[in-house]
Structures are given as C-alpha cells and as structure tokens.
Structure 1
Amino acid sequence: MTGVQSVHDPIARAVIECAADAIVAVDERSRVTVWNPAAERMFGWTAQEVLGRLSPIVPDELMAEHNAVQERLLTRREGDGGQISIATRRFHRDGRLIDVLIDTSLLKDRDGGLLGWVGVYHPVEDDEAAQHHTAERARLVRRLNDIVADLNAELDLGTVLDRITGALIELTGADAGGFVRIEGDRLRLVSMSGLPERMRGTTADLRSSLVGELLRSGRTVRLATGEQRLGDLIWSELEGLHTVALGLSFLQNKPYGALYALFSGRKVGHTELELLELLAGHAGVAVGNAVAYAEVVRQRAHERAVIDSSADGIAVLDRDGLVRQWNPAAHALTGIPPEEAVGRRLPFELPKVGEMLTLPLESGVWLNVLAAEIEETGELVVDFRDVTEAKALEEAKDLFLATTSHELRTPVTVVQGYASTLTHRWDELADADRRAAVATIADRAQSLGRLVEHLLRGARAGADELAVTIETFDLAKVLEGVVAGFRSLSDLHRVELEIADDLPPARGDALATDIVVGQLLENAFKYSPDGGRVLVTAHREGGELVVGVVDEGIGIAPGDHERIFERFVQGEAGDRRRFGGVGLGLYIVKRLTEAQGGQISAHPASPAEDGRTGTRMCLRLAVADDAQ
C-alpha cells in the first residue's frame, strides 16, 4: 500500500516518495493521508499501519502545542509565510521520544478548500546544544499550555490582560511588555509590565504605530529594530531598547489588540517570535471569553436595573411556581420583603399566561396582574400594578351615574307630570291651580338647572379645568350681593350679614368667591331644614380675610369635616333621599377656593340658645397687596 493518498500527479507523488525528510499530512479530523518512506524510517510505523488513522507520533503532553499550531495556521492572514516552524519531540514506534524540527503548513486543494495540514520533519543533531534547545523548547511549550489553561479559567478582562502581559515576559524573556487595545483609529495601553505606571491608559495614533504597519502588511507578527523610525507610544520608554516583537490578537476574526515584547538586553530569535505568535492567538480566545462574560454581566445588570427601577411589581417564578426575583416595587405594593417572598409562592392568584387578572389584596390594594412565559427557561415573569385609584374612580363613576339618574329623574318626573296635567286638563283647572302647576314646573326646572350646573362644574374641577382670574376685588360687595339673593329664597331661614367696618379689599377671583359663598349658603339652608338663623361674617386676621357661614342645622358627624370636600361625598348626617344632591357642591367649593390661593374648612358651630349646634364653614382669602 502506498504511503500517499489522493496525490494524482505522478511527479508530485515521486517527489514525496523520494524526499529525504519525513512528510506527514493529516486531514481536518487529524487522520493521516500522507506518510512517505522517510516518515517510515524516522518513526518506525509503516504507511499501511497509519494511513486513515489518527497520527500515533504526538505525545499527549504536546497535543495542546500541536493543536495550537494548526489553529494558528487557520487564523493567519495571507502573506504571513504560510508555515510555522517549531522544535519539539515526537514518538518513535519503540516508545522513545526523538527530537525533531517541524515545518507545518496548511494543505489546500486547487480551489483553496482546506484538506488538512502537512508537516515536514527534520531530524535534530544529537549533540548537547541541540538537546538543550529541544528541552528548553519543550519546557516553554509546557509552560505555554499551563498559561493558556490559566487564562481560559479567568473571566475578568483586566485580570486576563495582566496575566497575558506577565506570560509574555516569562515566555519570551522580554525586558518589558504591554497589551494595546484597538479603539477605532486609536491605540490604548491597557496592560503592561516593566513600564512606568503613568503610561497605563495612554493612547496613540493607530495609523502611525507598529500595529498600524502590521495591519497594513497583512501579517500577524513582526520584529522592529531601533534603527527604524517608529512613532509608537511605548517605543522610547525603555532605556536601551533595541528590538520590539509584535503580535496581533483577534476577537471574532477581527483585530482586537496587540502584544508588545520589548527587548533592551538579550537578542531576539525565531523562537521568541513564534512563542509571541502562539500566545497572541491564545490571548484572543481568553479575551473573547472575558468579553463575552462581561457582556453577560452587563446585560444582567441592565435587566436588573430595569426591574428594580420599575414602578410595577415584578416577580420571576421558576418552573415550580416559586418566586426567584422580587423587585422593590413588589415589596412596596404587597408589603412583603424579598427575603420573605423568594422561595415561596405568590401572595395572590396567578393568572393564565397572556390574560389580565384584577384582584384585591388583604390590605385593600387592587392589582392588575399579567404573566408571560420565558420559553427558553420555562420561567414566568409576573407584572402587577396598583389600580386602587382607578378602581375607586370606577366605583365613584358608578355611584355618580346611579345618584345622578335618581336626582335628575325626580324633577324631570315632576315637570313631565304637571306639564301633562296642564296639557290635558287646562280647561278643567281653576286659574289658581294652573298658576300653582306652572310655578311648580318653574321651581323644578330651576332645581334641574342647578343640578346640571353642579355636575358640569364638578366634571371641570375633576379635570383641573377651573379657570380663575386673580385680581383685587371688593369682598364686602360680593357678600352683600350673595346674601341679598338668598334672603328671599326661604321663609324659614333668617340670613344675617356682619362685615367688619375696616374690611380691606381681597386678592382673588370675585366670581369664584360669589359661587363659593352661594354654595355655602345653599348648604346651610339644605342642612337646617327646620330653619333658623344663617349668619355670614367677614373680618381680617393678619394677612388673610376670613369669611364665615354659620347655620343652626343638623351639623356634621365627627370625622367627616375633611371628607365632605371630596367628590361624591356627603356627611353621614346628610340623607340623600331627604336633602338630595350628588355630593359635588363642597368639592367644587374647595377647588374654586384653592384655585385662587385660599383655604376652606368646616367646624362645629357654637351651641345656640335652644341647644342646636349647626355648622360653621370658614373661607380664607388673601388680603390685596396694596392693603397689607
């Protein structure tokens, strides 16, 4: 059986068969495809024994070196010489190790397709110098293997770069070294040894640097001597520097940076450049691992920041439905800290994936809950937000609609009834009855108009659309007009007005104040159904004008003095069936008062002579600037 497979050219076959040096080729799976007679003589195995099988000549402890050479050839650029030469050892069939010098190249077909690798083996002279060189070479390779293993186990980028620089000094014997990273059109020194610390982080122009020249050459390593004019960032920082060895490092097949080995003492040879090239190749892998890990860490930190800063509660559940992440908003919404939530089930019902669920907590908080699945891990992300305010607004809206329909239905029914009576029985009714019916219609229509006006004002107030004009106005005149209008509305109530003689002008909105005082008087009438005195007062207290409206009615229940100013709220003593209304009057009063910079409050009135207490409403407005 011939020792050459797939070599069809008779001349090429004859050259391989007759070569004095051992020639061994392997395919992409490291199976032997060429094993010439010289290889049989050097290693002891016949071609028939090794063809189509894994090469038996590489010792286990040198397998990493063997693989590194093959990998480096794959990543080399065109113009790099096409081969790597190393001095190493290989097995003989009888078990002994023999010293050889190997020239390894890529093996390609005519179209450039990869067939494998071919090595030409030269015997090394069996003298003391050659043995020392081979032993030293083997030691360095073993050390390189240890360094590579150490680099690949480290994931912090800064530590990886520092270890690469330290390994560079150890393996090449350089007097100083550094790693520069390519950042656009600049170089940055990110790791160094044997150079001043002040240089760390300094930058240089890429184009005029050694790295720039190396990139333009298409090669991955080079030597530069002191006679060359080189404007490099570290060229002149080592006294006595005579040679720089430079090797490119690649990340995802793109130049990432370069290793510098600076020599000011010993001479540099082929071995140092070869070790630098191998280390640079492994550095790219280690840097790639560290960069990928840093990106994962950065992405996780970003995701964690998004989760932690979210206003929504977010929980991540594992496949068993147990909480694994619990953000600060989840703690705030439920009151459950992370240490109590993690490892347990959710404190509320879990909705189906993609469906929204609205549910209450024991605290009274209402939540909208939505769940989504992470298909890759089977985990669930549960998002929940506080919708208590929206829920309360929805309930208030329902109450508003129910109450409004009731309040509107009563006057409308009365108007419809009397209008129908007049339409069908006009001639049968006496003149006094007809007048009474028309008066009732007018009265109910007026009530209906006031109700609609309150609803519209309440809607505008809730939407923050109450517009006021702040100016100086005569508060006494406004109060006199309002009181005069109310005195004729009830035979049961006696409206009195007491205004201090020295009352200064007010600063605010006269029309808004008119509406406020009118609403206060209307409430005083409504909640004192048995009549009595209604007293309106006005006086100055410091920089404020104080308007009081005091009635002798049923008063306000304890605890309701603040609530009565909310929308759709009446005091517990206010029976809707008895007094009517939708609870918007005092809400509008508060909104109009605050819009002009004033304050409104409710208090129990001092007991009257007959024992009735009633209510005192207190309106405070600012004194006009020119009256301060």
Structure 2
Amino acid sequence: MVDYRAGIEGGVGREVVAAAPNAIVAVDREQTVLAWNPAAERLFGWPSAEMVGRRAPVVPEELTAEHNAVLEKVRTGGRVSLRTRRFRRDGSLLDVRVDTGALRAPDGTHTGYVSVYHLAQDDESADDRNARRGRLVRRLTDVVADINAELELPAVLDRIAASLAELTGADAGGFVLIEGDRLRLVARHNLPDSLRDSTADLRTSLVGRLLREGRTVMLETGDQGRLDELIWSRLPGLHTIALGLASTGGRPYGALYALFAKRKAGHLELELLELLAGHAGIAVGNAMAYQEALRQRAHERAVFDASADGIAVLDDLGRVVRWNPAAGELTGFGAAEVVGGPPPFRLPAPGEKLTIQLPSGTWLDVLCAEIVETGEIVLDFRDVTRAKELEEAKDLFLATTSHELRTPITVVRGFAATLDARWDGMTDDERRSAVHTIAERSRSLGQLMDHLLLGARAGAGELTLRIESFDLAASVRAATLGLPGLSDLHRVEVDVPRDLPAVSGDPLATDILLGQLLENAFKYSPDGGLIRVEAWAEGGCVVLVVDDEGVGIADASRERVFERFVQADSGDRRRFGGVGLGLYIVRSLARAQGGEVSAHSRPLGGTRMRLALRIADTPGAHT
C-alpha cells in the first residue's frame, strides 16, 4: 500500500483541509483513514488521533452494502453524491450529504477514496435562503418598476421607505436627501411623523462616512457606535442600522436607512438594501429631474401667461399651438378661436419686425423668430396704437401749429407792409383799421403761444399755482358777463346761486379754464343754440357745468379729448381750428387745484363739461 497521508496533510494541502468548513475524510482502498480534518472531528465527535490508521466506525450496518456500492462506482471512475446517514461517536445518527471521489497516484493507480460530509439540513437552509433570495429579488424587480412608474418626488420617497421594510425585514427605516452640507429626512416608515424634515450634519453622519470611505453600503451595530446619537433612530431596542447610498451617474442624492430592533440583518439584507438604494437613487434622480422640468415649465407658463405682450407659438405648418391671454386681449381672438389655425394677421420674415393694423383699428408691432431645432415659430406682438396716434398727433400738431401761426402772421405782415408802403395815401380811418387788425391778430398769436407754453408746462408737471380760498360764483359771473353780445346765434343762461360756497384753488388758473370751457361751448356749437352755465354744492365740492347744443362728443372720445393734440374727431381742426391743447390744459389746471373735469354727452345732443373743485376749509382742501 502506498501511503499518501503526507501528500494530503502536508504543505498547502494540510492548510486547505484544516480550514475547510465541511468534514473531509480520506481512506485507502481498505478504508483505513488517512486524513480526518477538524471539521470531521466536530461533525462525528472522534478526534483525528483516534481515527487515522483505523477504519472509521461511522457507517451503519444496514447501509454497508450501499456504502460499498458507492466505493465501487467511484473506483471505476465515477463520482457519487448522495444523502445518507452516519454514526456519531455518541451513537446518534446524522442525516448527511456525502460527496465521494477517488484518490489516485501520479501514474493513475487507484489508491483510495476522499469523502466530503455536511449536514443535509445545511442544504435545506441553503435552499431556503436561495429560494427566499429569489423571491425577494423578484419582489425587488416589481418594487423598482412600481417606484420608477411614479414621478412625483414625495410619492417616490414614500414608496421607497415602505418597500425597505418589506424587502429587508427592517423594523423601521427612512430616506434622507443630501442638501448641501445637510441631510434631511424626507420619508419614513414606522418612525414618528415628527421626525419628517428633521436635519443632520452630513459631515458627522454615517452617510458622510460612506462618502469618505467610497463605499455604497454599511452595517452599523450598537457595539460599533452610539446609535442613539442619530436623530432619526428613535426605535426602542435598536441594535443595527443598515445604510445604502442612493446615487446615479456618480452623483449621490441621499441614502436609505434600515433600522433593526427585533430582527437580525445579514448579508442578504445588506445586498437587497444596496440594490434598492441603487434603484432609489435612479428613481429619485428621475423624480427630481421631473420636478425641475415641472418647475421650469411652470415658470415659463407664468411668464407666458403674465406677459403684457401677445405671444404665440406656431408649428412647422404655421398653425397656432399656443396663444397667451395678452394675445387674446390685443387681437380680440381667444385661444379657442385661433389654436389649430393661422394667426389673425400676416407675419413678418423671421428676425424682422412688421407694423400692422388690425380691422379693429389696433396697431401692432410683430416680431418673428424661428426655433431651428423644432421648426416652430415664436411671435411676439405689442400694442403700439398710442405710440402711433402720438406720432400722428405730433405730425398733425406741427402742421396745425404751422397753419395757426401762419394765418395771424400773414395778416400782420400784410397790414404792416400796407402801412409801410401806403401810409401817406391812407386815410386816418384806414390806418386806424389796419393797426386794429394788427393788434387783434397779435393778441390771437399771443394767446396761441400762451396755450403752447401752458401745454408744455402741464406736460412736464411744472404748473405752479397759488392755492387759496376764493369766490367761484364771482369768477363765473365775470367770465360770462359779456357772452350774450358775442353771437346772434347763441343764447346764454347762467344759474349760479349767490350763496355758493367758496372753493379752494387758484383764481387765475380757474379764470383760464372757465374761459376755455366757454370758448369751446361757442366753438363746437357753430349752428347756435343754448349755452347754459350752472353751479351747485355737492358733498365736499362745488360742481360747475357748461352745457351746449353743439356737435357733441362720441363716447369713445370722452377721455381722449383731454389728451394733448387731440380733438373730438379727425376733422375738427380743419373745421374749428386750434392745436388740440385747450382741454388738456383745462384738466391739468383743474387737477393741479385738487379738482377734476370730465366730458359727457347730453341725451338730446351737445356736450356737458363738468368741473368739480373742493369747498374751502374741507378735509383734503389745499391751504
């Protein structure tokens, strides 16, 4: 017999056999024990010193035939694994799994057998563990699909925290977000609700340790550190914390905490926690990106909806796909009317501006830009009607002012030239008449210049008035005293009570605005009629009205007539003359005194101009 015990038990082989977790028994062809490792000692109860060199008494008599059959099969080149029973030293029977193979010399000669033993229940435990692991991994797949189907961050976090206990068997747990140098508990399971949104210093936390050590998972027990220092570890009997880092694309978003108080955590729980944390990082990253996209979209929508400019988006076929509220207000077409069709105006070329007028009379400046990536067109348009009107008003003002100045200047120059050339040939009455005409035209020219100067000062906010208490009734009577003799076509009535209260204002400014109101009443009733002036006290004010039976003012122009260079309609200047500053000056003077003036249409035709000034020594009156 060749003794291979030295080869089995010497050198590296001895270390491998001694360290093996399973019992290893080597025998020669006569079944004499050659090797009996420490695991065999623990399993069968006989020490190696007693068993080497003798036949091991481990095979029950009723299983001898089975044992010999196994050895015969191994001798002829097979390898056998079977579940069977073997004796322990104390006489008890062990239910074991044994794997048997042949020992051979370097030349291939069969020299013996090697058997590896372990308890059959270990196989069952391993099978149970594998089956449980398989079930949990399948459940993890379902959980991950469920988490990834949700994009609302709070819902994602709550599902992760709830799944944590289900998969790892943890008694409690939670998810913490990394926010700068702080951690915030954003989801919890079986932890007090008061802990939600509590924070901790990242640097001194377990998450900070994970990041510093470059690890993704760790197990912390009560023996390794003081778990009660963690602010979200308020769980009676807490003995272990499993921690998994949640990150995606190399960016850590937070971490999963699994807290164990009654159950134990092992490698399987740690493995599942690591897998769940990895998927949680992806889900949280997706949810945060989605939330950021929603915030960005909400911001864009707020800007789009709140813009004073009309904004529209057209698809690559020129159809409106977005139409903000301002666009509806500017054009008179709501989104429901235009979306899906072309915009209600022509478009400029991309990158250019086009000024157009809508059928409603509104003027728009339209800008156009193309989104190259999508082929869409973005339109931005704004109302420039006032600017257009002001531009036209300025042009008309220059033309009208030139005309208004040219007429008296031409007359003055003509009569002055006549006097210069024909003085000696003219009678005294002719000379006196020419000088009178020059004087009248000069006064007209001076009045025009005064109006221009007052209009300029009012526009610049530079009107300087002296506010005091004065008798408005006396001012009205003085202003209307000579009116009945001015025109054979007009009748003038004045109804101002003697006991009208004094008002607070500037007497000179009031005289100017009264004169303008009366002049307008005559000017804009060219066919004559009644001009009635009436005053009364109303509340804390004195109200003065000037009524005429003239051309009237359209409702749409009731406010515009008080603007600079504006009259009731485009033909008024040609028909009545003037530069359109009279009522602008009237309102400016009234407001500078703390009063107000307004225009109203009369039911039977004509216009009512209404002036209100504060009664002197009343609250709000200037002193």
TM over 0.5: yes
Rounded to whole Å, the distance in 2 between the matches of 1:273 and 1:615 is: 91
- Asked if 2 retains the 8 angstrom alpha-carbon contact of 1:601 and 1:619, the reply is no
C-alpha spacing 1:271/1:362, structure 2 compared with 1 (3 Å) = same
- Asked if 2 retains the 8 angstrom alpha-carbon contact of 1:222 and 1:245, the reply is yes
Give the unaligned 5+ runs of structure 1.
Answer: 1-19, 21-122, 607-612
C-alpha spacing 1:522/1:605, structure 2 compared with 1 (3 Å) = farther
Which region of structure 1 is more displaced relative to structure 2, 336-345 or 139-148? 139-148
C-alpha spacing 1:576/1:277, structure 2 compared with 1 (3 Å) = closer
**Match of residue 198, structure 2, among 198, 202, 205:** 202
Q: How many residue pairs get matched?
A: 497
C-alpha spacing 1:316/1:485, structure 2 compared with 1 (3 Å) = same
Rounded to whole Å, the distance in 2 between the matches of 1:145 and 1:615 is: 83
Deviations 1:596-624 (A, max 9, x none): 31446678899xxxxxx998866443332
Rounded to whole Å, the distance in 1 between the matches of 2:570 and 2:333 is: 39
C-alpha spacing 1:481/1:205, structure 2 compared with 1 (3 Å) = same
1:621 aligns with 2:621: no
Give the C-alpha shift of residue 411 in structure 1. 0.9
Q: Which amino acid letter does the alignment assign opposite residue 231 of structure 2?
A: L
Give the match's secondary structure for 1:238. coil
- Asked if 2 retains the 8 angstrom alpha-carbon contact of 1:494 and 1:532, the reply is yes
Rounded to whole Å, the distance in 1 between the matches of 2:348 and 2:570 is: 43
- Asked if 2 retains the 8 angstrom alpha-carbon contact of 1:605 and 1:616, the reply is no
Q: How does 1:439-450 map to 2 (within 5 A)?
A: 439-450=436-447
C-alpha spacing 1:150/1:575, structure 2 compared with 1 (3 Å) = closer
C-alpha spacing 1:240/1:592, structure 2 compared with 1 (3 Å) = same
Q: Which amino acid letter does the alignment assign opposite residue 357 of structure 2?
A: P
Give the match's secondary structure for 1:307. helix
C-alpha spacing 1:268/1:398, structure 2 compared with 1 (3 Å) = same
- Asked if 1 retains the 8 angstrom alpha-carbon contact of 2:156 and 2:283, the reply is yes
C-alpha spacing 1:156/1:492, structure 2 compared with 1 (3 Å) = closer
Rounded to whole Å, the distance in 1 between the matches of 2:325 and 2:527 is: 57
Rounded to whole Å, the distance in 1 between the matches of 2:483 and 2:610 is: 19
Match of 1:281 in 2: 278
Rounded to whole Å, the distance in 1 between the matches of 2:178 and 2:544 is: 77
Match of 2:590 in 1: 593
Rounded to whole Å, the distance in 1 between the matches of 2:533 and 2:173 is: 93
Deviations 1:564-618 (A, max 9, x none): 9544555689975675323432442243234431446678899xxxxxx998866
**Match of residue 307, structure 2, among 306, 310, 314:** 310
Greater C-alpha Rg: 2
- Asked if 1 retains the 8 angstrom alpha-carbon contact of 2:552 and 2:601, the reply is no
Q: How does 1:572-611 map to 2 (within 5 A)?
A: 579-596=576-593, 597-599=595-597
**Match of residue 348, structure 1, among 345, 350, 363:** 345
Give the C-alpha shift of residue 287 in structure 1. 1.5
C-alpha spacing 1:184/1:419, structure 2 compared with 1 (3 Å) = same
Match of 2:231 in 1: 233
- Asked if 2 retains the 8 angstrom alpha-carbon contact of 1:176 and 1:194, the reply is yes
Rounded to whole Å, the distance in 1 between the matches of 2:443 and 2:313 is: 60
Match of 1:68 in 2: none
- Asked if 1 retains the 8 angstrom alpha-carbon contact of 2:183 and 2:200, the reply is yes
Rounded to whole Å, the distance in 2 between the matches of 1:388 and 1:534 is: 35
**Match of residue 155, structure 2, among 143, 156, 159:** 159
Give the C-alpha shift of residue 291 in structure 1. 1.3
Q: Which amino acid letter does the alignment assign opposite residue 302 of structure 1?
A: H
Which region of structure 1 is more displaced relative to structure 2, 329-338 or 445-454? 329-338
**Match of residue 456, structure 1, among 453, 456, 460:** 453
Give the C-alpha shift of residue 481 in structure 1. 5.6
Give the match's secondary structure for 1:625. coil
Q: Give the aligned CA root-mean-square deviation in angstroms.
A: 4.1
Which region of structure 1 is more displaced relative to structure 2, 345-354 or 488-497? 488-497
1:224 aligns with 2:212: no
Give the C-alpha shift of residue 157 in structure 1. 2.0
Identity %: 62
Which region of structure 1 is more displaced relative to structure 2, 518-527 or 274-283? 518-527
1:376 aligns with 2:373: yes
Give the C-alpha shift of residue 316 in structure 1. 0.9
C-alpha spacing 1:312/1:206, structure 2 compared with 1 (3 Å) = same
**Match of residue 182, structure 1, among 175, 178, 181:** 178
Rounded to whole Å, the distance in 2 between the matches of 1:161 and 1:210 is: 20
Match of 2:390 in 1: 393
Rounded to whole Å, the distance in 1 between the matches of 2:391 and 2:254 is: 63
Give the match's secondary structure for 1:345. coil
C-alpha spacing 1:615/1:605, structure 2 compared with 1 (3 Å) = farther
C-alpha spacing 1:490/1:176, structure 2 compared with 1 (3 Å) = closer
Rounded to whole Å, the distance in 2 between the matches of 1:220 and 1:333 is: 59
Q: What TM-score do you get using the length of structure 2 for normalisation?
A: 0.68
Match of 1:331 in 2: 328
**Match of residue 415, structure 1, among 412, 415, 421:** 412
C-alpha spacing 1:467/1:602, structure 2 compared with 1 (3 Å) = farther
Give the C-alpha shift of residue 303 in structure 1. 0.5
Give the C-alpha shift of residue 400 in structure 1. 2.3
Give the C-alpha shift of residue 153 in structure 1. 3.7
Which region of structure 1 is more displaced relative to structure 2, 563-572 or 175-184? 563-572
Q: Which amino acid letter does the alignment assign opposite residue 324 of structure 1?
A: V
Rounded to whole Å, the distance in 1 between the matches of 2:331 and 2:494 is: 54
**Match of residue 297, structure 1, among 288, 294, 299:** 294
Rounded to whole Å, the distance in 2 between the matches of 1:340 and 1:488 is: 61
